[in-house]
Amino acid sequence: MFLIKDSPEQRQNKIRSFLTGEPVVAMLLAAADFEWTVRRAISRFAHKTGNDPGPKFERVSGLKTYCECWAMVATPGFARLEEVVQDWGSLVKSFDLRHQLIHGRQGTTGANYARAHVEAILAASSAVVKYCLDQGEPIYGKKLPSRKNLR
């Protein structure tokens, strides 16, 4: 669906294109985009700092674990993930909707309701991308170094 060479804007536009006809798909793709973005950020920072998040990173599940892995690779002066994503509360609510949809507790959602959640998730992804760029660690446009080099 997405390629490493895709720009953040291309990815987000593709996700938004599903809002009209398939709002659930837009929700799930937005959540996947955020997780992809955060995982790449953690990998870039781990390589830069030499701090390997270890086996927890392989089994990461949920926002709390992403925050823990982010903290593991951080160096003094790094912002916490909850600080990078300025509207953390909206991201948590949006991921709650994602969980309800993916686990079948909620079957569908309307486009207008989904739009606010999709935009919250995409804003969070954009904030992570910007933070990485500000740290000199772009996460789009090139392959990541192997994690084997950290061990």
The whole-number average pLDDT for the span 76-86 is: 94
The rounded percent of the chain whose pLDDT value lies above 90 is: 54
Compute the distance between CA of residue 37 and CA of residue 43 in angstroms, rounded to an integer: 10
* pLDDT at 149 > cutoff 80: no
Q: How far apart, in Å, are the Cα atoms of 93 and each of 16, 105, 112? A: 19, 15, 15
pLDDT at 14: 94
DSSP per-residue string spanning 74-133? --TTPPPHHHHSTTHHHHHHHHHHHHHHHTTSS----HHHHHHHHHHHHHHHHHHHHHHH
